[in-house]
Structure 1
Amino acid sequence: MAKRENDSFSIKDLLGSYIKEGGLNKGFQKIHIEEAWEKMMGPGVVSYTQEVEIQNKTLIVRLSSSALREQLSYGKEKIIRMINEEMGEELVKKLMLV
């Protein structure tokens, strides 16, 4: 019978390495960034949100309300900081509201 190794790994660590090695980071970041936006902004803002995507450290949010776009533009730095805290890394450096 083969000798059994006693090395134990958490599921989180195993999935993390699988995602990293498989090149799946971008897909998971997209899902997590959308979830973070919904969690932080609440149902009022989310109802006017058409799309949330990240490209080259720029978070692009498409909104159907120009008034909301203008209002959110005053707090861009705070939104970036909150998203990065929620994601656990500095993923966003710029926010574009379109």
Structure 2
Amino acid sequence: MAKRLNDHNSIADVLREFIEANKLQPGMDKIDVREAWKHLMGNGVNNYTREIMLKGTTLYVELTSAVLREELSYGKEKIVKMINEELKREVVKEVVLR
């Protein structure tokens, strides 16, 4: 049974407790990573991005441009670092570009 919260908790604390109690964090991570990619990469890369998928700690990104995929492959570590900094915790450990 869920623990009862007092009347003085903030909405953020209540939502955090709800997410934790219902084991929703992996789903929230998938959404957060997708939004972080769109925010960090900008329109130029997003126009060539077909799909963004988080499985475990690996981020799979499907791109429609082979040239862009090759260029981004040189900065995979930087992409991981930028996404984790945006989310303020370590969610992604590896990026796979397809």
* TM beyond 0.5: yes
Residue 10 (structure 1) aligns with: 10
- Structure 1 residues 50, 6: closer, same or farther in 2, change over 3 A? closer
Residue 45 (structure 2) aligns with: 45
Please list every run of 5 or more consecutive structure 2 residues that lacks an aligned counterpart in the other structure: none
- 1:7 Cα offset (Å): 5.5
Q: Using the alignment, how far apart are the partners of 1:20 and 1:46 within structure 2?
A: 31
- 1:20 Cα offset (Å): 1.1
Within a 5 Å distance, the mapping from 1:59-98 to structure 2 comes to 59-98=59-98
TM-score under structure 2 normalisation?
A: 0.90
Residue 24 (structure 2) aligns with: 24
Three-state SS of the structure 1 residue aligned to 2:89 is coil
Structure 1 runs (4+) greater than 4 angstroms displaced:
none
- Structure 1 residues 51, 6: closer, same or farther in 2, change over 3 A? closer
Question: How many correspondences in the alignment?
Answer: 94
Cα RMSD for the two superposed structures? 1.5
- 1:6 Cα offset (Å): 6.8
